[in-house]
Amino acid sequence: MKPRRIICLALTFIFLTSTMVSAAATYPYGKHYYGEKDIYLQGDLSSSGLSGVQWRPSIAYRHDLKIRNVITGVETPTSGYLQTVQFDIQPLPGIEPEDKFKDKSGYHLIPLEEELIKDLVAKANGNAQWVWEQVSKSNPHPIVKQYLVNNVPYIDIGAVFYLSGGGLNNIARVENGDGITSPLFQTHYDSTPWPSIPILEQNSDGSLRIKALAHSIYDTAITGVITVNGTDTKELFSRNSPVNNYTVTYEGNVPLSELPGLKQGQNQVTLTVSDKFGRTASKSVVIQNGITQGCQPVLVKMRDTTQRIYFPDVSDGSTIKYGGPLVWGMQYNSAVCSVLESINKNNGIGEKLNQPIRVSDIQTSIFLNRWEFKIGKSNNGVILENLSKETRPLVAYLVETKGEKFLKRYEVNKGQSVEIVLPEKKYKGEYSIQFPSPLVDSGFWAKATTTSEGLPASYTYPDEVKGAIQAIVNFQK
């Protein structure tokens, strides 16, 4: 179904059920109080049976709405509704029948004010600047309907959601709602996330592995543009898809021959993906083109960070939380030809991801991901929060501190939390949380048969880190 038709249907539903009442109430935006009459409304009133652009007197009514992200389930606002306004047009007195606009009088509008439009777009998870440009330019996007309310520019609110990658879910007439002290309608709009790039890495055969997602309620599409070393750019893929769970996915392996401007040795590759609504995501990775120079290092597993679960006894009922940063990285030592891999709490904080960093004459580091965590008490154990900016989930193992016996694996997505249930509610270090590196969690290190100074080691590398190892071995600065 085309988006303009969707919005028209939404308006039609309002028209079929709107009523007229009179009283005064405070309204959060605009200059008109709920129930105010004789408000001049001019615009496309064809949904009320009029032809072309016309004007009619109208009444302002309260119209509440809520937004729900169809992928994450997050609602905005988290409780209650946003108060918006609809204007119900009235027949010209003594000229038109009193019931001329019966069941087709309401127009759900919002003032064409930059701050207000951008705020609503942000709540709808859209690109605020891009949407504002679409609705405010001299020839606005075709989906936009323009109105004058007492000569103040307004637009239909449905266009804001469409241009934010969202769309109408349903409109419900509020039982006994008068549009003044209570809403006349409660409307639910769907929103969608921005594009994302879950995977951008170099395969063992040298090709570039990509997985990218875009989401929208209508016109679901994704475009991917690759930039090599900050200068050479090429569109790698563009895909339109029928709505399927509101998501379109590109996944594939791109030969290095398809990348523009590659040089021998290390190259920085940046992938930028976009949807049809001005929303983008970018991710960079360092890849190797050609033969690895220097030694072929042994990959060595260093100990990952472990956090003991310890809370002091408090009598004032205060809540204690603790935690901090975690960084997954590797360090190459040219003197002994080894690469150390681990998750730690300190090294790499503030550094760019996937960029080789010279530590000393013989040491080069690269940091692949970072997280931020907090731990607090709960009824059955502890709550682990993932406060990261990165999208990769935080994985945690509950273990017995003595002997490090594994008890259970937990996975926490960005911005989420999980309750870790303790076998016994003991908080004096009897239990610990291990933060395994992705190579531990994938089972790679469990299969290692080589050791280096008593530590697990391997002369073969997982695909996920092969490009990063090549980058730090070949790094010259």
Greatest CA separation for the chain: 97
Least confident stretch, 148-157, 189-198, 376-385: 376-385
Q: Which residues pair with 408 in a beta bridge?
A: 398
- Alpha-carbon distance of 219 to 83, in angstroms, equals 28
Contacts of 389 (CB under 8 A, 6+ apart): 372, 414
pLDDT for the residue numbered 446: 92
**What average pLDDT does the segment 50-57 reach?**
93
pLDDT for the residue numbered 14: 44
pLDDT for the residue numbered 291: 52
Q: What band does 166 get if pLDDT is binned at 50, 70 and 90?
A: very high
**What average pLDDT does the segment 402-429 reach?**
93
- Alpha-carbon distance of 87 to 55, in angstroms, equals 12
Joined tokens for residue 214: 């875009």
Q: Are the C-beta atoms of 223 and 238 separated by less than 8 Å?
A: yes
In terms of CATH architecture, what is 196-289?
Sandwich (2.60)
Q: What is the CA radius of gyration of the chain?
A: 29
Tens-place pLDDT, residues 15-44: 433 333 333 223 367 888 899 999 999 999
The pLDDT of residue 432 is above 50: yes
Tens-place pLDDT, residues 289-321: 865 556 778 999 999 999 999 988 766 556 788
Average pLDDT, rounded, for the chain:
88
The pLDDT of residue 189 is above 60: yes
Residue with the larger pLDDT of the pair 156 and 352: 156
Q: What band does 464 get if pLDDT is binned at 50, 70 and 90?
A: confident
The pLDDT of residue 76 is above 70: yes
For 289, other C-beta atoms within 10 Å of its C-beta total: 17
Q: What band does 4 get if pLDDT is binned at 50, 70 and 90?
A: very low
The pLDDT of residue 8 is above 70: no
pLDDT for the residue numbered 294: 61
Joined tokens for residue 36: 């105010």
pLDDT for the residue numbered 28: 67
CA 189 to chain centre: 17
Least confident stretch, 260-264, 277-281, 339-343: 260-264
pLDDT for the residue numbered 448: 87
- Alpha-carbon distance of 456 to 450, in angstroms, equals 6
Nearest to 39 by CA among 112, 145, 148, 116: 148
**What average pLDDT does the segment 319-325 reach?**
88
Q: How far is CA 223 from CA 231, 240, 273, 361, in A?
A: 19, 9, 5, 42
Domain parsing of the chain, residue ranges:
3-191, 196-289, 298-474
pLDDT for the residue numbered 20: 35
- Residue-wise burial string across 16-37, b where 16 or more C-beta atoms lie within 10 A, e elsewhere: ebbbeeeeebebebbebebbbe
Q: How far is CA 61 from CA 154, 172, 316, in A?
A: 15, 15, 49
pLDDT for the residue numbered 144: 97
**Percent residues over pLDDT 70 in the chain:** 91
pLDDT for the residue numbered 402: 93
Least confident stretch, 146-150, 243-247, 261-265: 243-247
pLDDT for the residue numbered 398: 96
pTM above 0.75, yes or no: no
**Percent residues over pLDDT 90 in the chain:** 67
- Alpha-carbon distance of 147 to 153, in angstroms, equals 6
Q: What band does 390 get if pLDDT is binned at 50, 70 and 90?
A: confident
